Amino acid sequence: MTIINLKHVNLSFPIYGADMQSLKKKIIHVTTGGLIKCGQNKVLMVQALRDITFKIQEGDRIGLIGSNGAGKSTLLRVLAGIYQPTSGYINVKGKVSALLNVMLGLNPELNGFENITLRCILQGMSFEEIQQRKSEIAEFTELDDYLMMPIRTYSAGMRVRLAFAIATAIEPEILILDEVISAGDAHFMNKAQQRIHRLINTSKSLILASHDSFTIKAICNKIIVLKSGEMVFFGDTDEGIAFYNASSQ
């Protein structure tokens, strides 16, 4: 069963308010995740994704690799529905759970419990699901009475704990994961890694962007290699890593 289908997907971003030639000179040697070109009305455009076509079947574990700026995070955001393609076709069957920025959506003026409710609503949970999971989320954070306080009073590590606990309180069908999530001290990181692996194991399909070839080999059965916004390889994991290493030399 095909669960994700992309056909000739392109994505371009306009850059307004800058002189095209001078800006192009400044960034021409900087990795942009795509190609720099001149669009209509001489607007500078960054073509972040170019002609991406692939199918992912239920049960696939896809590793997404490429150098910094190759377009990995951009592609994940397209799959998550955050970015709409400039052109092309995308069809996703199943509930997508994207762990891209776990801090997104936290309100510093609300307390921990209120943020749990707010973020769970944004993640598409029903009121009944929120009530069922709120206690488990609170326990996972290990923040105890701090959950009654506005999160503007939290340390950075406490905010990450809360955000991570909420973001991973899901039952994903399609899990989209961008790199390894850092979540506090060694004790909490161990808990976090266990939860991530549970999500990976219970999801129907996975798309994981990572620079860690060991992690990719351990988890994924297929690889997509991106280069300057273009898919240059899609296939077997070992072959894909060998292709990437050879092309990077």
76 and 15, same structural domain? yes
Counting the structural domains of the chain, the total is 2
125 and 184, same structural domain? yes
Task: Report how far residue 148's alpha carbon sits from residue 166's, in angstroms, rounded to the nearest whole number.
Answer: 16
pLDDT score, position 61:
95
Helix or strand (DSSP H, E) at 196: helix 186-202
CB atoms within 10 A of CB 121: 14
165 and 108, same structural domain? yes
User: What does the pLDDT look like over 156-195, one tens digit per residue?
Assistant: 889 989 998 998 888 889 999 987 565 656 778 788 888 8
pLDDT score, position 30:
46
pLDDT score, position 133:
92
CATH of the domain at 187: 3.40.50.300
pLDDT score, position 7:
97
Task: Report how far residue 81's alpha carbon sits from residue 115's, in angstroms, rounded to the nearest whole number.
Answer: 23
- Least confident among 36-40, 76-80, 106-110: 36-40
Domain that holds residue 111: 99-203
193 and 142, same structural domain? yes
84 and 6, same structural domain? yes
Mean predicted confidence (pLDDT) in 210-218: 88
Helix or strand (DSSP H, E) at 63: strand 61-65
The token pair that represents 84 in the structure block? 């709409």
222 and 179, same structural domain? no
